[in-house]
Amino acid sequence: MFAASGAVPPEYAAIARDEQARAVEPFLTHFLDAEPAIAARAALAAGRSKQPIPLNALRRHLVTKSPAVRSMVVYALGLAADGTSLGSLVRLERRDPASAVRYAAADAVGRIVAARPVLATEAVADVLLSSAGDDPDPFVRGHAAANLDAFGTAAFAGALASGLERRFARERDGTVRWHVMWILARAYPLRCHDAFLRRALADPNEFVRAEAARALGHRPGPRAAALVRPLLDDPSWHVQYEAREALRRLAKEPPTAHLTALPPGIHLPPLPPGSAGPQPTGSTVVRKPRAPAYGDVPDAPPLVPTSAASLDGPLPGLHPRVRIQTTKGDVVVRLYPEWAPFTVANFLDLAADGYYNGNRFFRIVPDFVVQTGDPNDDRGNGDAGFHLRAEENPIEQRTGIIAMALNYGKDKHAERDSAGTEFYFTLSPQLHLDRDFTAFGEVESGFDVLANLIERDRMIRLARISDD
């Protein structure tokens, strides 16, 4: 790893070994006192272990001088759902001078409260609400708003919804605005004021309009349907799809679970002439896939996030890229091994072996996800023969993120550490997936191709191209 310097610290192998074993050896927490790139990586590994052993060591490093290490320590305490640290994390969310730490604190507070609903107090919610409106960094404002989902059923949820509406009215950053509208639609749809939703339906931001339509789909009555119906001809295909689904919900019809044909009248972006490839007949897999080892992990920039923006995307340096040729055209994906090294290694290994060649896009949910990676073509029941360890990270699952799919248990909840070969792309912001699913890259070009796919389409070939 460490593509920028060419020198891989030997400590990284020990950290990676413990992380994959979900073990916390005593020396792992000693790495928290090492130089920032090693200490930050050790903190992330300790959090991913979800074991109580390293929590005291992590708490002691909440005051470390390096903001990169501090942010990873904070994020790790959130992964571990450490309720004992909640008060300290709330204070950091209010006062830490580093935006990376405040972003990580908002994430950690949301994770802890989601895992421990008894901690969903009004005082804690008010801190996130304040950050959503007043933090100087737009990445922090948006992330703080998104993590208010954990308070959607609280007794004071109505006051939170009103507070979010006021912050939306004052906000000028388009990305923060859709974050606020996203959380209102997902966690507070019945708490929104009618006048607020009517205004949001005319917002210039397509994701604000789409989420307003989603919120109205949860508000029964002819008035909601009358407001949503004009959006069936909205200029944005995102809004059109959300309007269609909202009207289905209002009519008590099931949601569209599989897109097998493009609906008439959808304003999809045009595909370049000649972009469509041949229609393959099936997978060209040559061998049973194997789980990646540490030696398979590609070079990556050091894990030293210094800002909120660097927690929500790639760190400076070269990143591996893959071109995915599909029956509708090419998609280029940039991968993030600094955040998910074994997931990226697995993806590159499978691509190099031709495992994905010919795979069908077996699950496409309108304006939600495009999923593939099962050579059996039987709707996600393919067996990789191994499971990957989850590599949770702070990247939001906004539009165009690639992430690993998971198995679901009898309780209909995603099972951690159950990823194998299946992956998906987000077609619009899906921030509720942040806490469970491993994001490992982002679409660099070809998103219009994803928008035009239906479940008859396939991947033709995946090939690694030059790093960037």
pLDDT (tens digit per residue) in 66-87 = 999 999 999 999 999 999 999 9
In this predicted structure, the answer to whether residue 5 has a pLDDT above a threshold of 60 is no
Domain(s) of CATH 1.25.10.10: residues in the chain: 10-250
Q: What are 19-33's pLDDT values in tens digits? A: 998 877 776 788 999
Q: What is the mean pLDDT of the chain?
A: 93
- The predicted model gives 422-430 an average pLDDT of 98
- As a whole number, mean pLDDT of residues 119-125 equals 97
d(CA 403, CA 365): 15
SS (H, E, C) 204-221: CCHHHHHHHHHHHCCCCC
Q: Is the pLDDT of residue 383 over 70?
A: no
**Superfamily classification of domain 10-250:** Leucine-rich Repeat Variant (1.25.10.10)
pLDDT of residue 170: 97
Across residues 434-461, what is the average pLDDT?
97
Question: What is the predicted pLDDT for the residue at 52?
Answer: 86
Whole-number pLDDT of residue 27: 67
Q: Using the predicted structure, report yes or no on whether residue 323 has a pLDDT greater than 60.
A: yes
Give residue-wise pLDDT tens across range 222-248. Answer: 999 999 999 999 999 999 999 999 999
- Average pLDDT, stretch 241-263? 97
What's the whole-number mean pLDDT along residues 130-147?
98
Q: Which residues contact 368 (CB under 8 A, 6 or more apart)?
A: 426, 427, 428, 430
Give the model's pLDDT for residue 68.
Answer: 97
> For residues 164 and 170, what is the distance between their CA atoms, to the nearest angstrom?
10
Size of the chain, expressed as the number of residues it contains = 468
Q: What's the pLDDT score for residue 281?
A: 59
- The radius of gyration of the chain from alpha carbons, rounded to an integer in Å, stands at 22
Which pLDDT value is given to residue 155?
Answer: 96
What span, in angstroms and rounded, lies between the C-alpha atoms of 434 and 431?
A: 5
**Contact status, residue 414 vs residue 406, Cβ threshold 8 Å:** yes
Non-local CB neighbours of 306 within 8 Å, separated by 6+ positions: 67, 68, 98, 100
Look at the block and give the residue holding tokens 């239906």: 454
pLDDT value for 385: 84
pLDDT of 462 reads 96
pLDDT greater than 80 at residue 286: no
Higher pLDDT, 344 or 375: 344
Angle between helices 86-95 and 67-79 (to 10 degrees): 140
CATH fold of 294-465 reads Cyclophilin (2.40.100)
Is the confidence at residue 183, as pLDDT, over 60? Answer: yes
Give the pLDDT score at 23.
Answer: 79
- Over residues 299-319, the pLDDT tens digits come to 899 999 999 999 999 999 999
What pTM value is reported for the model?
0.95
- Which structure tokens are listed for 291? 């789980």
Burial level of 291, CB count in 10 A (0-12/13-18/19+)? Answer: middle
Residue 145 has pLDDT above 80, yes or no: yes
Read off the pLDDT of each residue in 49-56 and give the average, rounded to a whole number.
Answer: 88
Is pLDDT at 53 greater than 60 in this prediction? yes
- In the chain, which segments carry CATH 2.40.100.10? 294-465
Helix, strand, coil content of the chain in percent (nearest 5):
45, 10, 45
DSSP 363-431: EEETTTEEEE--TT-SSS----SS-BPP---S----TTEEEE---B-TTS-BPTT-B-S-EEEESS--G
The pLDDT of residue 34 is above 80: yes
**Pair of tokens at residue 169:** 């009215």
- CA angle, 27 then 31 then 36, to 5°: 175
pLDDT bracket for residue 13 (50, 70, 90)? confident
205 close to 177: Cβ distance less than 8 angstroms: yes
Q: What's the average model confidence in pLDDT over 460-464? A: 96
Checking if the pLDDT of 11 tops 90, the result is: no
